[in-house]
Amino acid sequence: MDTATTTSVPPPRAPQQTGTTRGKPRPGDRIFLGMSRGAGIFLLVIMAAIAGFLAYRAGIAISKDDANFLTTSEWNPAGDPPVFGIAVLAFGTVVSSVIAMVIAVPVAIGIALFISHYAPRKLATPLAYVVDLLAAVPSIIYGLWGAIFLVPYLDGLNSWLAQYLGWTYIFEKTGEGPARNLFTVGILLAIMILPIITNVTREVFLQVPKMHEEAALALGATRWEVIRMSVLPFGRSGIISASMLGLGRALGETMAVAVVLSPSFIISGHLLDAGGGTFAQNIAAKFNEADEFGRDALIASGLVLFVITLLVNGAARAIIARRKEYSGANA
């Protein structure tokens, strides 16, 4: 059974099933085949060109970098000698995205389950639509909303966390100032990626074979048991792919982060202290004033984001591929 992820490939022989002219493909089929093959190759060429461009420009910058590009916590490509590294950016990008995922995935699954299995039909459709709309809000709007509305509210949460959970190190607050930190960015990103994860997850939940659910109900399972034993296992790979889509957006989010975060080139495990930075935010902040070499340096950092995204997607595909055969639908 096709587990129906967004990454699944249509069976290559599909056109031949049209029947009447078996063995002798019709011209339309061949044209369509050529077009789709051409489109596929075109996409690969574009990706290769982007990667080549990034690698070329990044190479120029990295070869002149006076410090270790991967481990330096400083960004001064205009300096003499130029010194820049992506350690802070990689840390900030990953940490804020992880916070976003930790918050968004459970909530998204909850919303998706509610819409698909609990809510009355009259409520489910508008609710799904509202979640859809959340995805249509431009990220700069999220940023402004975050900076003006969210940050003052999170100040309270921050001091509460610092007071009662300060002993955990990550919630220890060593500096003062408003909540313009990676934790706030994580919460904002969670809200931003919620609609993508929710939508895809809901779609997958709706695809659970009715027979499975009815069979479970017939055996006397409660609604929660139905969800636990048939819906969630069936949707697992779908949930993972949805989460990866969301993670992709969180990793690359630019404007919202640039507006909300108070960046600094320090790696700190204290999530409530202002500071840190992300790849996209740093590029947005530095690109305008950077000279040619500074831009190459930013492109080099962008290349690292590209690689991180590739790794994440690769890992997600590996997980999905491994789970395919054990998917609940076959069990």
Partner 1 sequence: MKLQRKNGLRATALGALAISGALVLTACGSDNNTATGPDGGDKTNAASNIKCDEAKGQILAAGSSAQKNAMDLWVKNFQAACSGVEVNYQPIGSGGGITKFTQGQVAFAGSDSALKPEEVEESKKICKGGQGINLPMVGGPVAIGYNLEGVDNLVLDSATIAKIFDSKITKWNDPAIAKLNPDAKLPSSSIQAFHRSDESGTTQNLHKYLSDAAPADWKHDPKSKSWLAPGGQAANGSSGVAAQVKQTQGSIGYFELSYASSQSISTVKLDTGAAAPVEATSENASKAIAAAKVTGTGKDLALSLDYKTKAEGAYPIILVTYEIACDKGNKAETLPTLKAFLNYTASEEGQKVLTDAGYAPLPAEIATKVREIVPTLS
For 159-170, give the DSSP string. Answer: HHHHHHHGGGST
Q: Least CB distance from residue 152 to partner 1, whole Å?
A: 9
Give the SS3 label for residue 57: helix
Stretch that binds partner 1, among 71-79, 98-106, 117-125, 164-172 (CB under 8 A): 71-79
What's the N-to-C CA distance of the chain in angstroms?
11
Counting contacts by CB under 8 A, is residue 290 touching partner 1? yes
- Asked whether the beta carbons of 266 and 275 are under 8 A apart, the reply is yes
| Distance separating alpha carbons of residues 325 and 42, to the nearest angstrom | 32
- Asked whether the beta carbons of 324 and 241 are under 8 A apart, the reply is no
Q: Least CB distance from residue 27 to partner 1, whole Å?
A: 27
Two tokens at 253?
């989010």
Question: Quick one: 78 exposed, middle or buried, by C-beta within 10 A (0-12, 13-18, 19+)?
Answer: middle
Counting contacts by CB under 8 A, is residue 39 touching partner 1? no
Name which of 25 and 317 has its Cβ closer to partner 1: 317
Which amino acid type is present at position 245?
L
Counting contacts by CB under 8 A, is residue 325 touching partner 1? no
Stretch that binds partner 1, among 61-69, 112-120, 129-137, 223-231 (CB under 8 A): 129-137
Name which of 30 and 185 has its Cβ closer to partner 1: 185
CA distances from 172 to 156, 211, 331 (A): 14, 51, 46
Name which of 8 and 71 has its Cβ closer to partner 1: 8
Name which of 100 and 200 has its Cβ closer to partner 1: 200
Give the SS3 label for residue 213: helix
Among 66, 214, 225, 291, contact with partner 1 (rule: CB under 8 A): 291
Name which of 171 and 268 has its Cβ closer to partner 1: 268
Binding site for partner 1 (CB under 8 A): 1-2, 4-6, 8, 74-76, 78-80, 132-133, 135-141, 175-178, 180, 195-196, 199-200, 203-204, 207, 209, 238, 249, 254-255, 258-259, 261-266, 274, 284-292, 294-295, 329
